[in-house]
Amino acid sequence: MKKLMLGNEAFARGLYEAGCKIASSYPGTPSTEITEEAAKYDEIYAEWAPNEKVAMEVALGASIAGARSFCAMKHVGLNVAADPLYTAGYTGVNAGMVIAVADDPGMHSSQNEQDSRHHAIASKVMMLEPSDSGECKEFAKAAFELSEQFDTPVIVRLSTRVSHSQSAVEILEREQKELMPYEKNPQKFVMMPGNAIRRHPQVEERMKKIAQYAETSPLNRLEINDTKIGVITSGAAYQYAKEALGTKASYLKLGIVNPLPEKIIRDFADRCETVYVIEELDDILETHCKKLGLDVHGKDTFSLMGEISQAIVREKILGEKAEETVFPENVPVRPPVMCAGCPHRGLFYCLSKLGVMVSGDIGCYTLGAAAPLCAMDTTICMGASVSGLHGFNKARGADAEKSSVAVIGDSTFMHSGMTGLVNIAYNATNSTVIILDNSITGMTGHQQNPTTGKNLKGDPAAAVNLEELCHAIGIRSVRVVDPYHMAQTEAVIKEELAKEEPSVIISRRPCALLKYVKHNPPLRVDSDKCVGCKQCLKIGCPAISIHNGKCVIDHTQCVGCGICKEMCRLDAIKD
């Protein structure tokens, strides 16, 4: 039987069919759905870990115990998990261990555009790269076999297009896998220097064996058509090239992207007149080809930035430019905004009004940086808001402490904000940290986290009490505000900034999109009282607009949060 599946859904099916028993991940677009789908199979224990480092360590521990294991993350999450990854490359595995990392060319939902193949090369572990949903499933299964065959974790590199596109997938039965025996082996798994130095030669030998395997592996595929043009490619770029060039070119599609083979690449290049290397982001394949002494075109033709497309391939190689639709006038873009009723809106309006420096973090609240709120100065990575604020205040002194805050979501705080707050308490800056507790992991689609009281499957779980946690860390002043009440929120921010000690404000209100949230009736505008001052537009609510010089509230979007009503000095906005 075949079924149309998203790449992430198909990957989860591959985990199931391969006999995977343990899956631990942290949600990160575009990888999130793999673990959500895996959790639907009763035979797979699946969990959300506090962060990617913990998830990878859980997966490695399960592998050592003898269970096939898995963890998933987006590309920047692999940075967080790099510490265990690089040493797991030395220890190897017991049962198979597979890591899915989803890159984001074009930065659809990310703060950078890094190429995860560098991590595979540096950590000396095998990496595969599928190009559609069918291959997602098959490569997931193959990764477990190769992990056990070569005693290594195996990374599978996905991308936004592969993860979130659909194609046909063949559905097979699950392969039942018993736990592999566990035997104490400190020489293999205790990576103190004396043992690690003996493991390194085995790692190098393993990479040579995998490279030899790659020469004849069915995961690397030749497609010989017209040999005037040869294309060496992998992943989503293969699909673009195939659709753009068809039988006008021959293809070497590489499913194994680390380590790379040599002989099949040389032989393919010898058969073709002109060879193009088409790959998204960095010149990994191209550099390998040039090290082999091959004359290929790569980043002299294609960009180091963004996604490739069929139109780009067709234009760059065949000189055929796609037709463009030109509008007679400038059409304004619609930037992303916080949802109507978003609990973060009132808080950010207060911060904007106060004119404080805001050290920001990763989450849907990052939209607080956009107009008209413009209430965020920095966004670097998960948790950087808290530790970054400490550094900012250490550098600029007491005056900065009175006019700067950090903002961080509840899930992000659990991911990597706690250690930054420990640093503030331990190394003493009078910094004010605001935890935006919307009772869910909002940005990636409403996943549970350690503060919500539910696990991945929605079952009851231990819930971290943020107030008690902050007190335990060493923060004495911890306040809770409702961001729908802006006057109170603004007053508390002023009070905490004035204190001569570190403090935490918890801005607590559930995400407006949560199904259990009961909204108030939509607000309305008394047009007789409205003078068109546009004060209500300063909060950037998508439910509010101006028509014929008067404020208008879209009743299909408004959730009656009351923020605009509080702002209106003329009492023109009514319940």
> DSSP state, 293?
T
Q: Tokens 């010149």 sit at which residue?
A: 283
- Identify the segments of the chain with pLDDT beneath 70: none
Spell out the domains of the chain, with CATH numbers in brackets.
2-216 (3.40.50.970), 221-318 (3.40.50.920), 344-508 (3.40.50.970), 524-574 (3.30.70.20)
> DSSP state, 417?
I
Sign of CA dihedral 423, 426, 432, 433: positive
Sign of CA dihedral 257, 262, 268, 273: positive
- 547-566 residue pLDDT tens: 999 999 999 999 999 999 99
Q: Name residue 329's amino acid.
A: E
CB 479 within 8 A of CB 485: no
- In this prediction, residue 326 carries a pLDDT of 81
Q: Using alpha carbons, select from 289, 128, 155 the residue that is nearest to residue 220.
A: 128
CA 116 to chain centre: 12
- In this prediction, residue 138 carries a pLDDT of 98
Q: Give me 467's structure tokens.
A: 């107030």
122: helix, coil or strand? helix
Paired with 505 in beta bridges are 434, 479
Q: What is the DSSP string of 512-567?
A: TT-TTPPPPPPPEE-TTT-----GGGGG--TTEEEETTEEEE-TTT-----HHHHH
- In this prediction, residue 194 carries a pLDDT of 96
Q: Using alpha carbons, select from 538, 516, 540, 528 the residue that is nearest to residue 573.
A: 528
Sign of CA dihedral 485, 488, 494, 499: negative
- In this prediction, residue 261 carries a pLDDT of 97
Is the bond into 105 cis (omega within 30 degrees of 0)? no
The contacts of residue 418 (CB under 8 Å, 6+ apart) are: 469, 473
Distances (CA, A) of 447 to 73, 159, 451, 457: 14, 21, 11, 10
d(CA 382, CA 360): 9
Q: Using alpha carbons, select from 292, 302, 151, 157 the residue that is nearest to residue 219.
A: 157
Q: Name residue 461's amino acid.
A: A
Q: Give me 440's structure tokens.
A: 């869910």
φ and ψ of 84, to 5 deg: -65, -30
Q: Give me 446's structure tokens.
A: 């409403």
Q: What is the pTM of this model?
A: 0.93
